[in-house]
């Protein structure tokens, strides 16, 4: 075991750009922890104050950027998600302008959900959970713990130790993790599946704000970017300049309400540089998760994003297993699945999934 490089939540930005000064440097194959804020810049800490407590919050702040030694334009950055640790509460907020249901609301409303897990369950049920308390006389008005310090409402010692940030040395991947869930109401308990909403490298041209997905990655809101997944991103600038944030404790395909269960936390990743023919094969952004490989594409419309993702996957399958357009097209229609990642960002995002074991049957292995 050894101490790991950590990029703390003070190093955040609302834009991904090749002109950004690196927050940290690492070697090819190193393991790094990104400490993230939530998409509201940790400003919404009370259901009674849905607009938040900051005058000028950063929208979708992304932690970074990380400069990976040896990464040069034309390479691909391989990002293995080893662990995602969450703050002990998450928040959702309605919108009057965006999202499928925005016309249902004339003002913003927020709800804070405590995160339940293993040994904390009994304390939470008794109302003694650290970092989450009932406040005020109005029923249903809750407030998360102090917004000061290392993330609002966080038991710093417990979470820093879990993420390897404190004095105790930790391995990159925890041996076990308690099942985590929220109680939506007194009838419904929902298990969590933490994901990374914003993750990307510096774009090739002008900077792109962290609310927007594009070919560099960014705000893809793909709920398959989870612990155990591997994301391949383009290197457009020396070092790649990797940033990430906008964690969701849970989110369904589409993100139709406008948000997932927004949350801060710590992401542990291993970053490696892929070069040459192996890099040229990959239609980035490209994801491997739970036995599937996925192309992720964003465009002005879902139709266009879907076409782009399907065509990118078909070309990849052709090259990876040596098939022509006819055979690759048939395999795509038989075995691939198209899904909507999100419909709420400036560009819409669609992914196309294909079974990894088919590629392996023909001898292809991801780098």
Tell me the per-residue pLDDT of 71-128, one tens digit each, with 9 for 90 and over: 999 999 999 999 999 999 999 999 988 889 988 999 999 999 999 986 555 544 554 4
Please list the alpha-helical segments (H only) found in 249-301: 276-280
The four Cα atoms 10, 27, 248, 349 give a dihedral, to 10 degrees, of: 120
pLDDT at residue number 159: 33
Overall CATH class of domain 291-361: alpha beta
Burial class (CB in 10 A: 0-12, 13-18, 19+), 4: buried
- Low pLDDT (below 70) residues in the chain: 1-2, 118-178
- What is the location of CATH 3.10.28.20 in the chain? 291-361
Overall CATH class of domain 5-71+82-210+233-270: mainly beta
In angstroms, rounded to a whole number, what is the distance separating the alpha carbons of residues 114 and 107?
23
pTM of the model: 0.85
- What is the location of CATH 2.60.120.580 in the chain? 5-71+82-210+233-270
Tell me the per-residue pLDDT of 23-50, one tens digit each, with 9 for 90 and over: 999 999 999 999 999 999 999 999 999 9
In angstroms, rounded to a whole number, what is the distance separating the alpha carbons of residues 353 and 312?
11
In angstroms, rounded to a whole number, what is the distance separating the alpha carbons of residues 95 and 259?
9
Mean pLDDT for the chain overall: 87
Please list the alpha-helical segments (H only) found in 164-301: 276-280
Burial class (CB in 10 A: 0-12, 13-18, 19+), 355: middle
């Amino acid at each position: 075991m050894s101490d790991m490089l950590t990029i703390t939540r003070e190093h955040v930005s609302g834009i991904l750009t090749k002109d950004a000064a690196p927050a940290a440097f690492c070697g090819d194959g190193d393991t790094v922890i990104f400490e993230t804020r939530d998409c509201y810049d940790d400003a919404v800490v009370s259901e009674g104050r849905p607009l938040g407590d900051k005058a000028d919050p950063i929208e979708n702040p992304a932690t970074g950027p990380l400069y990976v030694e040896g990464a040069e334009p034309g390479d691909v950055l391989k990002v293995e998600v080893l662990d995602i640790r969450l703050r002990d509460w998450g928040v959702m907020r309605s919108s009057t302008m965006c999202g499928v249901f925005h016309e249902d609301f004339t003002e913003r409303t927020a709800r804070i959900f405590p995160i339940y897990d293993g040994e904390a369950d009994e304390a939470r049920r008794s109302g003694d959970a650290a970092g989450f308390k009932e406040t005020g006389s109005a029923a249903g008005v809750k407030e998360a713990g102090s917004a000061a310090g290392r993330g609002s409402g966080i038991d710093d010692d417990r979470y820093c130790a879990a993420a390897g940030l404190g004095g105790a040395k930790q391995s990159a991947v925890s041996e076990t993790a308690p099942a985590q869930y929220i109680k939506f109401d007194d009838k419904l308990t929902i298990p969590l599946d933490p994901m990374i909403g914003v993750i990307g490298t510096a774009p090739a041209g002008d900077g792109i704000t962290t609310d927007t997905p594009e070919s560099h990655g960014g705000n893809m809101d793909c709920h398959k970017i989870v612990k155990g997944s591997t994301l391949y991103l383009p290197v457009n600038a020396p070092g790649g300049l990797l940033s990430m944030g906008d964690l969701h404790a849970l989110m369904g395909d589409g993100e139709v309400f406008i948000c997932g269960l927004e949350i801060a936390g710590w992401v542990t990743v291993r970053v490696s540089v892929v070069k040459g023919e192996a890099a040229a094969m990959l239609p980035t952004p490209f994801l491997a998760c739970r036995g599937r490989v996925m192309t992720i594409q964003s465009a002005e419309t879902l139709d266009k994003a879907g076409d782009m993702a399907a065509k990118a996957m078909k070309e990849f399958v052709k090259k990876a297993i040596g098939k022509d357009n006819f055979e690759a097209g048939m395999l795509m229609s038989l075995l691939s699945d198209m899904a909507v990642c999100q419909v709420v960002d400036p560009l819409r995002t669609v992914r196309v999934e294909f079974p990894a074991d088919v590629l392996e049957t023909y001898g292809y292995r991801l780098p």
